[in-house]
């Protein structure tokens, strides 16, 4: 699935990846298939917002944004964490709505207004500074109130909400376009009680907001797992993160979704298709004798005469050092185990059993090759984290190629 179909600058005849030592490929078909599934689940009345924070979970925000805004299927808007992420999307030509989840420094609130961006509002000091920025520019600032319902992250408590609402009613420069909350315990469990309590609290706050005379265009709570397992959380807008990239938020989410689908009489349960493949090329091959040590700290000693491949990828690229002597890569459709410690920019793998392996061969660090797969979930399992972290940490400087 490489070479010929890579979208890239057209000024070179050879496949662009021939000169790359490590890169990420984004499978456009897989992305469209995932987005179409979530569009079906959300329906056409609900705003489907693609969450592109952290470089689109490591997939490449610009590449994913372009795919998400193709005509069909299409995400309606974006969510990001930082102002700079939002501005980068504007620079890439995206005019759609963009919600910023995270804090924006007071000195930069004018850029939020000028960029016609949506801002998550979760503290009064920001509100005052935002009013001033909007007044200075003569434009309105659009905010989505973050409501605390049980995650204890950002958000106004139910008790502080009345004073915030009073303040907002007296702020002609601020448009309260939305209100939202975020679930604490929806992907790690098949038990929905905590999420239901949060949804109830959110509904009560929405009632308070309506009683204060504020008409909200967008009420939202759902992340991927919420849309999959509690469709009633979709409300006016769904914040779709991990699912668009072809990952289930967790095993529990997959099981809950499947159980609900089967109970509803579905004969086939939709599948998600991972979008990302992380690749590298073999930089060098070497033959080492039996009993030789490999890498820093001499943590691996060969038990046979071994053919080693040196890969130009290390922990600086986001390949976790705790995968040393633990994981494997795919070469010519075979599994090649990582030997010795992962270095800053390099790692060694055992290719003794890979027939006809050659320098320059393409290696899959994460993703599928032939019938074999190295999944983000597997790598996450080896180092005690979640797949979200594994893909997010792939260095932003590595090229992202849409294939």
Ligand X SMILES: *Cc1c(COP(=O)(O)O)cnc(C)c1O
* Token reading at 297: 């700290």
How far apart are the two ends of the chain, measured CA to CA in Å?
7
Judged by CB under 6 A, the residue of 155, 241, 246, 367 near ligand X is 241
What's CA 118's distance to the chain center, in Å?
Answer: 20
Burial class (CB in 10 A: 0-12, 13-18, 19+), 167: middle
Could you confirm whether 296 is annotated as catalytic? yes
- Nearest alpha-carbon partner for 17 in 35, 28, 34, 3: 3
- Annotated catalytic residue, options 194, 286, 296, 315: 296
- Residue 165: CB minimum distance to ligand X, A: 21
- Annotated catalytic residue, options 29, 31, 53, 146: 53
Judged by CB under 6 A, the residue of 35, 68, 117, 223 near ligand X is 223
- Nearest alpha-carbon partner for 67 in 54, 83, 81, 56: 56
Say if CB 7 and CB 382 are below 8 A apart: no
Which listed range, 5-13, 235-243, 274-282, 320-328, lies at the site for ligand X (CB under 6 A)?
235-243
CA distances (Å), 381 to each of 220, 335, 375, 389, in order? Answer: 31, 18, 10, 11
Which listed range, 25-33, 241-249, 330-338, 372-380, lies at the site for ligand X (CB under 6 A)?
241-249
Judged by CB under 6 A, the residue of 26, 51, 89, 234 near ligand X is 51
Three-class secondary structure assignment of 147-209: ECCCCCCCCECCCCHHHHHHHHHCCCCEEEEEEECCCCCCCCCCCCHHHHHHHHHHHHHHHHH
Nearer to ligand X, 81 or 293 (CB): 81
Judged by CB under 6 A, the residue of 39, 94, 144, 182 near ligand X is 182
Judged by CB under 6 A, the residue of 62, 77, 149, 224 near ligand X is 224
Print the binding letters for residues 74-113 with ligand X: x by CB under 6 A, - otherwise. Answer: ---------------------------x------------
Could you confirm whether 293 is annotated as catalytic? no
Catalytic residues: 53, 296
Chain residues in the site for ligand X (CB under 6 A) = 51, 53, 101, 182, 223-225, 239-243, 249
């Amino acid at each position: 699935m490489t070479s010929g179909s890579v979208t890239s600058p057209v000024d070179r005849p050879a496949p662009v990846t021939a000169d790359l030592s490590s890169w990420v490929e984004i499978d456009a078909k897989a992305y469209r298939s995932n987005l179409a599934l979530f569009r079906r689940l959300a329906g056409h009345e609900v705003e489907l917002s693609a969450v592109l924070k952290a470089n689109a979970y490591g997939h490449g925000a610009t590449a994913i944004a372009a795919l998400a805004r193709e005509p069909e299927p299409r995400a309606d808007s974006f969510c990001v964490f930082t102002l700079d992420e939002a501005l980068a999307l504007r620079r890439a030509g995206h005019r759609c709505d963009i919600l910023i989840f995270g804090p924006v420094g007071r000195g930069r609130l004018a850029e939020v207004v000028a960029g016609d961006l949506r801002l998550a509002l979760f503290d009064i000091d920001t509100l005052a500074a935002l009013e001033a920025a909007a007044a200075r520019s003569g434009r309105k600032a659009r905010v989505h109130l973050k409501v605390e319902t049980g995650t204890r992250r950002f958000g106004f408590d139910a008790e502080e909400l009345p004073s915030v609402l009073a303040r907002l009613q007296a702020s002609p420069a601020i448009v309260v376009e939305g209100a939202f909350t975020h679930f604490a315990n929806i992907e790690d469990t098949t038990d929905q009680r905590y999420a239901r309590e949060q949804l109830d609290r959110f509904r009560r706050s929405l009632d308070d907001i309506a009683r204060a005379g504020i008409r909200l265009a967008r009420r939202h709570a759902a992340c991927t797992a919420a849309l999959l397992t509690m469709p009633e959380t979709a409300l006016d807008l769904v914040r779709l993160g991990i699912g668009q990239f072809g990952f289930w938020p967790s095993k529990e989410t997959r099981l809950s979704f499947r159980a609900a689908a089967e109970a509803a009489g579905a004969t086939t349960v939709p599948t998600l298709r991972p979008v990302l493949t992380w690749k590298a090329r073999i930089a060098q091959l070497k033959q080492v004798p039996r009993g030789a040590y490999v890498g820093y700290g001499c943590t691996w000693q060969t038990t046979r005469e071994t053919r080693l491949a040196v890969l130009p990828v290390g922990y600086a690229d986001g390949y976790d050092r705790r995968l040393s002597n633990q994981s494997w890569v795919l070469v010519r459709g075979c599994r090649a185990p990582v030997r010795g410690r992962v270095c800053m920019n390099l790692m060694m793998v055992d290719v003794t059993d890979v027939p006809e392996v050659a320098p320059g061969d393409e290696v899959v660090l994460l993703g599928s090759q032939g019938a074999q797969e190295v999944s983000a979930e597997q790598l996450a399992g080896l180092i005690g984290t979640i797949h979200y972290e594994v893909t997010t940490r792939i260095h932003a400087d590595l090229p992202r190629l849409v294939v």
